[in-house]
Amino acid sequence: MTGDSRSDGELLAGLPRQPELMGVLYERHARAVFRYLARRAGRQAAEDLLSEVFITALSASARVVAHDSGSALPWLYGIALNVLRAHFRRQPAAGVARDLGMDWDAVDDRLDALAERGRLRAALDGLADSDRELLLLVAWEGFTPAEAAAALGITQVAARSRLHRARKRAMKALGKFHATPGTPELMTTFYAQEKA
C-alpha cells in the first residue's frame, strides 16, 4: 500500500516526466484493475495481464489527465480493455470464441453454483461490444455513466444513450420486463440509473 498522498490527478500530471510514479498508481489501483481483468478473462489471465496494463499505460501517459472524478481508474480500465482485446486476439480460435471482450467460461464459472450459467450470456450476447462494456463498467466496476464514458472514449451523452439501449436490449433478451405486481422493479432501477 502506498503512503503517497498525492491525488491521482497529480500523479498522472507528473507521469510524463516521472514514469516511476506509475508504481504509486500500481499500488493504489492494481487490485481494482486485477478484478476488472478477472471478471472478463478469469483469474489466471488477469494475473498474467496485470503488469501489461500498467506498462502499456506508461507508453500512453503523455497526454493523459484524470477524469473529473479525480480517479485514474477510468483511464486504466480503458487501457485494460485494449490489453484484453489483444489478449483474446492472440488466443486460438477454438479457445475463446471470437469475442474480443470476454471469456464467457470465466463468467459462467461464477454463476454455475446458482444455476444461472448461460443466462447472463444470453442477456449480453446480443449487445455490441462497446454497449456491453459500458453496461459492465457501470454494473461491475461501479462506474458512473460519466466515468464509463471516459474509459471508453465516448461522450457522456453517448454513454447515457447507449446505456439505455444496452439495458433495454439485455432485459428483452432475459425475458422482457419482469414486473412484480405493484413494483415495476427493473424499469424503475433502469430509469434511476439513467438519471444518475
Partner 1 sequence: MMNSLDELLAAAGPVPDISPDGLSNGRAALNAALSSGHFAPAAGAGRKPGSWLSGPRAKALIGTAAVTAGAAAAAIVIAVPPSSPAVPAGSPANPAATLTAAAVLDQAAQAAGSQPGWPNARYWYSEDKYTCGGQLYTDKIWIYRYGNGVVEKTGPRNSDSICVRGLGTFPLYPAYVFGPYTWSQLYALPTDPARLEPRLMADHGDTVYQHPVTAAQWASQQASFEDVMFQLTDTPAPPALREALFKVAASIPGVKVTGRYTDSLGRTGTALRLGSYTMVVDPANGLILDENPDTGSSTIMLITEGPAASEPKLGG
Tell me whether residue 122 or residue 196 sits nearer to partner 1 (CB atom).
122
The answer to whether 52 and 26 are in contact (CB under 8 A) is no
Site for partner 1 in 128-147 (CB under 8 A): 128-130, 135-136, 139-140
CA distances to 47, 78, 97, 106, 165 from 112, rounded to whole Å, are: 22, 29, 19, 10, 28
Cα separation of 144 and 180, whole Å? 27
The answer to whether 70 and 7 are in contact (CB under 8 A) is yes
Tell me whether residue 5 or residue 113 sits nearer to partner 1 (CB atom).
113
Q: How far is the CB of 11 from partner 1 (least distance, A)?
A: 14
Q: Is 165 in the site for partner 1 (CB under 8 A)?
A: yes
Site for partner 1 in 45-84 (CB under 8 A): 46-47, 50-52, 54-56, 58-64, 75, 78-79, 82-83
Per CB under 8 A, the list member of 12, 45, 66, 107 interacting with partner 1 is 107
Q: How far is the CB of 5 from partner 1 (least distance, A)?
A: 20
Cα separation of 7 and 28, whole Å? 11
Q: How far is the CB of 73 from partner 1 (least distance, A)?
A: 13
Cα separation of 184 and 178, whole Å? 8
